[in-house]
Structure 1
C-alpha cells in the first residue's frame, strides 16, 4: 500500500540554557589522587509533560569538588568516557586527572552546538555495546514531572516514545541546581489517501457511478489532545456515503503492536456531522478524550457523480484537522480522482481532397467485459450537442444506449475509468457498410501521480493507433451488401423469373398447336 507513516519528531527543548549549559574550563593542580567530595544534589523538572509517557535521564558528566585545590571539575560518568573521547571537537579529557573541559570554539551555551551534542549523546546511549544505563526513569502522571535528589552534573533527558537522538541536555550545578525543561509537543498530523485497486496513494481514477474508497489517518502527538475534529471536503464530483464510515483506534507504530482500541462507536466515541457550519462535506468530532500518541484510522467512501470534472484536472478530496482550545488547524492533506473521456470520429475517404468526409447517422454502442459478462454503457446527452455522459451499466444489450453521429461525424463519451472498452457500430449510414466487428479501445493513463506536484496525461489506443487527442477514428467504406436469402430482392427475382417461365411455356404450347394445324 502504502506510504510510510510520518515519524514522531517531538523534541524536548531546554528553557534555561545559559547557565545550565556552561562547562567551566577551570585549571587543575595536577594532583590526580585528590579525593573528590560530594557537591550536593539538584533536580530536573519537565513541564508540559505528556501524561503516561515515560521520561529517562542519563548523567553524562559528574560535577566534583576538590577541597585540596578548592575547585570544581567535570568528569565523565562511567560508560560515558567513550562518548567524551569521541566528541573531541567539543571536549578535552585529561586522562591524568579525569577532568573534562570545553574546547569548542562556540560558546558553551550555543543552542546549535548543544543540540548536536544531545543528538550524538542519544545515539551513543542507544548503542547497546556502550553499556549505558539510565540514571532515572519515571512516568508522568500529570503535566509536570520532577526528578529530585540528583547528583550535580550534565544530563541527557529523553522520552521513551521519542528517539534517543531527539533529547535535550541540561546541567544542574552549584549556582543553579534546579533545572527546568519544557516539553515541546509536536503538532498532530493528518494524512489522507485514496485507493486505486488495493493500493493507497495520492491519486486514483474511476468512472461515473463508481465507488471510491478513502482513508485518513490522524497521529496524535500533542501532550494534551482535546477538541479534535476531522473536516473533510469533497468536490462536486464526489458524493459522500455516510454509512461507509469506520473509525479505528490504532497503536502508535513506534511502540509496536497492532490496533488495540478496535472500531470506535459512533455516538459514544465520535460524532459524524454532515450539516456543518463551514463548507466541508462532513466532520468527525471525537467525543472521548484521546491520548498522546494515539493513531486513528478513518475509512469512508464516495460515489463519482455526473458533476465530476473530466480530464487531467481531477476531483479533489481535502481533509484537515482542528484541535485544542483554540481550534488550531493542521495543514491539509488532499487526494485526486481522475475521470476520463473518449471521442469518436465517423468518416469516409472519398478520395482527392475529401479524405476525411464526416458521416452522419452512424449508430454506436459501448460495452466492457467483466469476466464472461458484457456490460453495456448507458448515456445521457449533455447540454453540449453530441457529448454523452455515462449514467451506468447494464447486462442487457437491449437496454444499451445507441448513440448517433451528427452531421460533423463527432461524438464524445464522458465519465469513463481507465481500461478496455469495445466500440460497436450497430448501424451504418445509408450507402455504407457496417463494421463487421467491434473496435477494441484502451484508455491508458500511464502512472498515477504520487504527489501534488506531479502531472498526469492519458491516451486512447485502438488497433495500432495511439491517439493523444483521445479520438477513435472510424472509417466506413461505401458499397452494397448482397441481400440475404428470403430478402425482398430474391422474392422479386423469384416472382419475375417464375412469370417468365410460365410465359415461355404458353408461347411454346401455342406454337406447337399452330404447327399442327
Structure 2
C-alpha cells in the first residue's frame, strides 16, 4: 500500500483512485470524502470499483472484492491488464509494474471510458456549491473520483475521513481581434474587409471534452479555410465541424481525447481564423458580434465576445438657399483626395452598400436629392462631385470627411446624424440678342439718326445765311 500511496501522489491524471481503511474493520462502517479547493458549479462523481472486505493496516495487507458494476471491466475489459480478479471475485494487482505512474493513469482513463460507455451510475454525485464538496456515508472500498472539469486529486490519508485537494482550475479563453501588433476586443472595418481572430484556450492538466463553439452574427462571413491551431494537426488533434450543428453556432473545434490526455501541464492552445464583414452588417451603434464558447467536461462553459463596427454617411444635395432638392448630381467616394481609388457599391434596399466586387462606382442623386452609403470604416474619405445638376456649378474640390465611431466630421464641423448637405450655386442667364441688347441697339440707332438730322438742318441754315 505504501508503494500505491507514493504512486498516486504524483498522478498527472484528472482523477485519483484511493482506499478507505479503518483501524478496526466493521461491516457497518462508513466513510466520507471531502474535496477541498473544489470548483464552484462543477459536478463531482465517486465510483466504487472494489469493496474493502478486510485489512491489516500494521502489515499493509488489504483484501478487496470487485463490485458488480465493475466485474466485467476487470474480468474482460482493459482493467484486467492492471488488476486480476479470481473465481471468488477477489482483486489483486497484476504485478508491481501495474502500480507505476503510467499504468495508474492508463487504468484511470480506461475506467472513465468504461463508465461512460456502460453508463455506470456513480456511487455518489455532488455539485460544488462553494469551494468544498463532501460525500458522506460511503462504503469502505477502492474509489475512482472525477469531475466535469477533470479533477486532479491527491491521496491524503487512508482513515475513515478522507480529504483530497482538487488542484484543477477552470480552463479559460482569451479572444481578440488581431490588428497588426495589437490585440483588441472591438474594431472598425469597411464592408469587404477581413477580420482576423485569435483565441487562446488556457487548457488545464487533465483536460476533458474540450469543444470550442464559435457563433458569428449575420454580418460576418466565416472563412472556413482560415482555421489553424499552432502545433496541432487537423483531423488528428482536432476536428473542424461546420455542418449539422444543433446549437446554431457557425463552427465547432472538437479536440481529440488523445490530444487532451497528452497534456502534462497547463497548456495554451492558440487558434486563429478570419471572417469578412458582409452586406448584412449592422451599422453604427449596433455591433457585428463573434462569440466563442468553450465547453469542457460534462456541461461547463466559458464565453468571450468581440465586436466589429461599421458606419454610414448620408448625402443631401440642395441649391444654395436650401429651398430645393437637386437631382442629377453624380458623386464618387474615395479613400484618396485625387479620387484614384473610388469605392464600389451594391444597391440594397435603397442604400449603397460598400462592396469590393460591386458594379457601382458613382452615385447619381434622384428627385429626393438624397442617398446613403453603408459600410464605411473609421477613417478619412473624399467625396467628389464629378457632374453637377443641370443649371448648377460643379464643386471645385473634393470634400474631406473623417468617419469615426462617434460621428462624421467635415473639417471641425460634426455632421448631425452623419448627414452631409452639399449645396450648389446656380448659373446666371447672360443677355442675348433677343433681349435687352436689341432694345439698346434700337435706342442708340435712333439717337444717331436724330443727331444726323440736327447736323443736316444746321448745315443748311449756315449755307442760306451766306
TM-score (norm 2): 0.56
Does the alignment pair 1:243 with 2:243?
A: no
Does the alignment pair 1:345 with 2:316?
A: yes
Larger Rg: 1 or 2? 2
Residues paired across the two proteins, number: 297
Deviation at 1:45, TM superposition (A): 8.5
Q: Is the 8 A contact 1:49 1:143 kept in 2?
A: no
Change (3 A) 1:186 1:283: same
> Residue 471 of structure 1 is aligned with which of 407, 416, 419?
419
Deviation at 1:273, TM superposition (A): 1.0
Q: Write out per-residue CA displacement over residues 436-492 of structure 1, whole angstroms, 9 at most, x where no aligned residue.
A: 1111111022xxxxxxxxxxxx2111133111411112111111599xxxxxxxxxx
Deviation at 1:373, TM superposition (A): 8.4
Deviation at 1:432, TM superposition (A): 0.8
**C-alpha distance in structure 1 between counterparts of 2:348 and 2:160, whole Å:** 79
Q: Is the 8 A contact 2:240 2:252 kept in 1?
A: yes
Q: Which residue of 1 aligns with 2:384?
A: 424
Q: Write out per-residue CA displacement over residues 334-386 of structure 1, whole angstroms, 9 at most, x where no aligned residue.
A: 11110111111111233xxxx4532222111111139x9831111122223xx
Deviation at 1:191, TM superposition (A): 2.0
Q: Which residue of 2 aligns with 1:404?
A: 364
Q: Is the 8 A contact 1:47 1:181 kept in 2?
A: no
> Residue 250 of structure 2 is aligned with which of 250, 267, 281?
281
1:289 alignment partner, SS class? helix
Deviation at 1:418, TM superposition (A): 1.0
Q: Superposition pairs for residues 270-349 of structure 1, below 5 Å?
A: 270-278=238-246, 279-287=248-256, 288-290=258-260, 291=263, 292-324=265-297, 326=298, 328-349=299-320
Q: Is the 8 A contact 2:198 2:273 kept in 1?
A: yes
Deviation at 1:49, TM superposition (A): 7.0
Q: Which residue of 1 aligns with 2:166?
A: 183
Q: Which residue of 2 aligns with 1:381?
A: 347
Q: Which residue of 2 aligns with 1:207?
A: 190
Change (3 A) 1:268 1:201: same
Q: Is the 8 A contact 1:202 1:335 kept in 2?
A: yes
1:469 alignment partner, SS class? helix
Q: Which residue of 1 aligns with 2:40?
A: none
Q: Which runs of 5+ in 2 are unaligned?
A: 15-35, 38-99, 107-152, 431-466
Q: Superposition pairs for residues 431-510 of structure 1, below 5 Å?
A: 431-445=391-405, 458-479=406-427
Q: Which runs of 5+ in 1 are unaligned?
A: 1-40, 54-110, 113-138, 145-167, 249-262, 446-457, 483-517
Q: Which residue of 1 aligns with 2:76?
A: none
Q: Is the 8 A contact 1:341 1:413 kept in 2?
A: yes
1:429 alignment partner, SS class? coil
Deviation at 1:319, TM superposition (A): 0.7
**C-alpha distance in structure 2 between counterparts of 1:471 and 1:343, whole Å:** 5
Change (3 A) 1:171 1:230: closer
Change (3 A) 1:430 1:416: same
Q: Which residue of 2 aligns with 1:365?
A: 332
Q: Is the 8 A contact 1:47 1:182 kept in 2?
A: no
**C-alpha distance in structure 1 between counterparts of 2:331 and 2:339, whole Å:** 19
Change (3 A) 1:471 1:191: same
1:227 alignment partner, SS class? coil
Change (3 A) 1:309 1:48: farther
